[in-house]
A and B are shown apart, each in its own frame.
Chain A
Amino acid sequence: MSTATQSAPGTPAQRQEQQSVRSQRRLPRFAPLGLYLGGLALGAALSALTGFSLVTTVIYGVALGTLAVYVAARAVEGRRQATDRLVTCLVTTAFGIAMVPLLSLVYTVVTRGAARFDGAFFSNSMFRVVGEGGGAYHAIIGTLIITALTAAISVPIGLMTAIYLVEYGRGRLKKAITFFVDVMTGIPSIVAGLFAFAFFTLLFGNNVRLGVMGAVALSVLMIPVVVRSCEEVLKLVPNELREASYALGVPKWRTVVKVVLPTAIAGLGTGITLAIARVVGETAPLLITVGLITGTNLNPFDGRMATLPVFAYYQLTQPGTSPQAFLDRAWTAALLLIILVMALNIVARLISRFFAPKSGR
């Protein structure tokens, strides 16, 4: 009961003083854990009454454990400590609940996607494959080409818009642009796809499917994300640096290019990489603008292309002669998308680490 006071350092006099200040009794350190384990055991028993299942065991156990910790703390430590413990339990439980779908998703995709995570998947296309075998080479290449094209369209537009908003914009035009960028952030991806579809249909007539159409559709989604993240990063550049540059007789545009952008480069790189990660797995707009083919098409300006999300969708919905082979390929495509997004996030972190201004003493 006196663990807190025993472990407190100091002279005997200090210790005595501390004891008078904090004579409160504490629960033993491992008591909450023990109570939770007890709760889980009881939960398992309760669950067994209605036919045992892991889910109900955990639900009963966590509820009982929380209740037990609260009651025990209330009895031993008093009201304030008990409330503290209760809130700690609730917050931890909420975190656990949030992690469940994520872990479950990663686990499922990894176990099921591993079956076809082999060399053939990366080197073969689906050309003339109706059963087993085949791969997603064409879809991987297609996703890379279309994403690169999207970035090539969105990054200059988005970055320059952000520079305008932070360095030059004022008054109504700035407010209007900010407002519409916010609206664009919320556009459903299918609407972006329909926009690109309608736009290219007007230009080239019916039934046109091009890789670049997908890039345009994805740009509609990516530009506002780039603008937003770059704007926030540029705002973080201290105004003193701009003034220092102006005071040296440097014109404004040169100040932006040579002082503001280099100072913000780490944040800009991170923001852009995360924006790419945001669009790389988009399915709906690509489904209606790029379509799908079974062979490899490297030219985004000529005909349909395959992309990983659409590939996964069609493997799942239109299996050929061997449903299991198609299902396996769909899972592997999903696994590859997750790996891609994770890799982009890691790249973003590396960018922010290596390009950050060095304080270097």
Chain B
Amino acid sequence: MAKRIEVSDLNIYYGNFLAVEGVNVSIEPRSITALIGPSGCGKSTFLRSLNRMHEVLPGARVEGKVVMDGQDLYGSDVDPVDVRRQIGMVFQRPNPFPTMSIYDNVIAGNRLNNKRMRKSETDELVEKSLSGANLWNEVKDRLDRPGSGLSGGQQQRLCIARAIAVEPDVLLMDEPCSALDPISTLAIEDLMAELKERFTIVIVTHNMQQAARVSEQTGFFNLNGVGQPGRLIEFNPTEKIFSNPDQKATEDYISGRFG
């Protein structure tokens, strides 16, 4: 299930603007990799380029290689839709489909792709996914209600349930807790710890304590100034990054002496 991702010499552009330059990194399977760094340094852009969501924006393009299980995701014969089926994503703001019930939101990935399933199968999938997202007990009595009626933290867990319902190999999370209160954040962090048994997880976060709590590996992105491309400054095991980083810039950022 979980797969390793090797990124080499990745340059990411918005039109002619080079946003992220020269990223080389290897993301381990069955672990959580955290990406930290100041705003605008390209963490989210890098994350979105891992499942080819970056190119959805007009003019956005990518150079370099992202290899998952020996296959280059940016190869000319690769369909971005297939990539996204294997690499799921959870966004900063919870975004359940407003026209669908909780039940339909969970199976949206299958239903929107016209995958035929029997009722018993979908029931099972909904329960499994919602349980996997620690939401089942809270919503099992109102699966036919709109997903937008849930609280922010519940909506975000619904989005996670929706993402894991299509059984991806990798789960990308773009600041999944930044719109949530500490209790919902804790619920989602516990969830990530469970999910890493099955998935490769990459999380972008502004919260360094969160990165330190949940991740095995941490990457620090930074940029030299406005208009300059962002770079991956350091990539090391989380313990090392937070205790004894290789780079001065990393230490400055983590200890709050930055800028």
Contacts and interface: CB of A to CB of B under 8 A. Distances in A.
B51 A247 contact: yes
B149 A361 contact: yes
B99 interface: yes
Interface in A215-248: 238, 240-248
B109 interface: yes
Interface stretch (B69-77, B82-90, B119-127, B182-190): B82-90
Contacts of B99: 259, 262-263, 265, 357
B146 A360 contact: yes
Interface in A237-281: 238, 240-251, 254-255, 258-259, 262-263, 265
A359 interface: yes
Contact of A244 (B81, B85, B159): B159
A359 B53 contact: no
A170 interface: yes
Nearest to B82: A249
B225 interface: no
Contacts of A248: 84-85, 88, 108-109, 112-113, 162-163, 166
For B83, B108, B145, the residue with the greatest tally of chain A CB atoms inside 10 Å of its CB is: B108
Given A250-B112, A255-B112, A259-B97, A244 B91 contact: yes
B98 A357 contact: yes
Interface string B130-163: 0000000000000001101100000000010011
B149 A246 contact: no
Interface residues of A, number: 26
A258 B88 CA distance: 19
Contacts of A29: none
A255 B148 CA distance: 19
Contacts of B93: 240
B162 A359 contact: no
A244 B97 contact: yes
B39 interface: no
Contact of B95 (A170, A244, A251, A258): A244
Contacts of A238: 95
Contacts of A172: none
B193 interface: no
B84 A249 contact: yes
A262 to B, nearest CB: 4
Nearest to A249: B85
Contacts of A244: 91, 95-97, 159, 162
A215 to B, nearest CB: 32
Contact of B145 (A242, A262, A360): A360
A357 B146 contact: yes
Nearest to A265: B99
Interface in B229-251: none
B58 interface: yes
Nearest to B109: A248
A244 B176 CA distance: 13
Contact of B91 (A170, A240, A359): A240
A70 to B, nearest CB: 50
15 contacts: A242-B56, A243-B53, A244-B97, A245-B97, A245-B112, A246-B56, A247-B84, A247-B89, A248-B109, A250-B109, A254-B113, A254-B114, A263-B98, A358-B148, A360-B146
Given A248-B112, A249-B86, A251-B81, 9 more contacts: A238-B95, A244-B95, A248-B88, A249-B82, A254-B114, A259-B99, A262-B99, A357-B99, A358-B149
